[in-house]
Amino acid sequence: MRKIVLAIIVLLLAVPALATVRIDAIDEGGGVVRIDYTSDEPNKVIGFALLIDVNGANITDVNEYLKGESTASKRGYGIFLDPFGGVEIDLDGNLIGRLWGSSVSDSQQPGAAGTGIGTNKVIAEMGALHYPPGDTEANAPGDSGTLCWVTVSGNCSMSIIPEDTFRIGVTLSNGRSSADNGPPVDVNAPGYDGRPAFDIIFDKCFPGSPSGNTWPNWNEYDYWVAAGEPPCWCAKAFAEGYPKYGYQCKGDADGDFTGKDQLGKREWAGFNDYQILAALWQKKDNDPNFFNHPRAYCADLDHAFTGKDVDGKREWVGFGDWQVLAANWQLKDNDPNGDDMTVDCFGTAASSAPYKP
């Protein structure tokens, strides 16, 4: 009997414990889905390569939680491994001069044909870089957190599959991964390994409904639809992946503030917003300088155009937008002057808590 018990103990010690890495999709409304992870493994996850596949809609944007190194103040996976859109790392572990780029794999890469923003599939590749490199170091990613936000164009279902045919899938610091045979890292994710996909019920992020009128008797919602439903007009806008309250209608064309991230220190209408409005001033909506600008419709602060409702006749950035910017110029977010910066465009009180998690 002692020999049998001893043999069982040796066998248990020889087989590594099955790690579980859970990937969750959380519907935040307006077509925005937050992708979180949780791991119960003592060895840290060092990188993710995930095929995000939606059925019934397209993926219009991916905003990463972190760009850059993982630090004690902000831990996570901010190194993007795609050689076209991500960073390059030499054999000594040094970053080669390149911006952080995007986690979305380029469609030219192996296994990525037909994927990308504007399609129903993306491959998101992200890893962790921190120093010192140990799993228990304060700068290492946490055992749970957010990877990114994915924006979809309508009602759909989402599956998240480890991409370990051409990429790392889900890989731990001890080298084990979701592609291993004995045993693999167990990944619990929507639509993977027989699990149900995650259903997304798309609700429009801008409040209201169509007026039913013809132009020029439109309401604000009609103008939002005519502008292509820009997310920056909505209550929840994104700046470098951080959810924030919406001050776009009060001068925030760039989706960010200046000053400190403290109540009464944030200025939502400043020089960056001025530069965006100046670049788009009276540009027609068939002008490449307008429609190729990443913040084009975000500069339409008064939510209306001048000119005729005909392609090439609409000017989305005009005198009304300058008046909005001037009224709120460099006002702090506890200032009741201007358009009342104590609340955002939707009446939500400015928060004393940091906007950046």
Lowest mean pLDDT among 96-110, 153-167, 185-199: 96-110
pLDDT band at 94, cuts 50/70/90? low
Report all structural domains of the chain as residue ranges with CATH numbers, in order of start. Answer: 13-200 (2.60.40), 220-327 (no CATH)
Collapsing DSSP to helix, strand or coil, 321 comes out as helix
Read out DSSP for 219-288? Answer: -HHHHHHHTT--GGGSSEEEETTEEEE--GGGT-SSS--BS-SSTTT-BSSSHHHHHHHHHHTT-BTT-H
Summarize the confidence of residues 194-201 as an average pLDDT: 86
Average pLDDT, stretch 236-255?
69
| Spatial separation of the C-alpha atoms in residues 150 and 296, rounded to whole Å | 21
Mean local confidence (pLDDT), 340-352: 84
Query: Which H/E stretch holds residue 180?
Result: none
For the cut 80, the answer to whether the pLDDT of residue 90 exceeds it is: no
pTM: 0.59
Tell me the pLDDT tens digit for each residue of 248-302.
Answer: 999 999 888 888 888 888 999 999 999 999 999 999 999 999 988 989 999 999 9
The whole-angstrom distance between residue 211's C-alpha and the CA centroid of its chain comes to 31
Q: Quick: pLDDT tens for 305-331.
A: 988 888 889 999 999 999 999 999 999
CA atoms lying within 13 Å on the CB side of residue 179: 14
**Of 88 and 161, the one with more pLDDT:** 161
Confidence band for 41, pLDDT divided at 50, 70 and 90: confident
d(CA 141, CA 66): 11
At residue 238, the pLDDT reads: 46
Mean pLDDT value across the chain: 83
Q: How far apart are the first and last CA of the chain?
A: 56
- Kindly indicate the confidence band of residue 245, based on its pLDDT and cuts at 50, 70 and 90: low
Q: What is the pLDDT of residue 65?
A: 86
In angstroms, rounded to a whole number, what is the distance separating the alpha carbons of residues 22 and 147? 12
Lowest mean per-residue pLDDT among 99-108, 161-170, 295-304? 99-108
Cα–Cα distance between 246 and 347 in angstroms, integer? 10
Residues near 132 by beta carbon (within 8 Å), at least 6 away in sequence: 139
Q: What is the pLDDT of residue 83?
A: 59
Q: Which residues contact 178 (CB under 8 A, 6 or more apart)?
A: 21, 162, 164, 169, 170, 171, 184, 185, 187
pLDDT at position 100 is: 62
Q: How far apart are alpha carbons 298 and 275 in whole angstroms?
A: 12
pLDDT of residue 116: 94
CB 110 within 8 A of CB 55: no
Position 297 scores a pLDDT of 93
Confidence of residue 184 (pLDDT cuts 50, 70, 90): confident
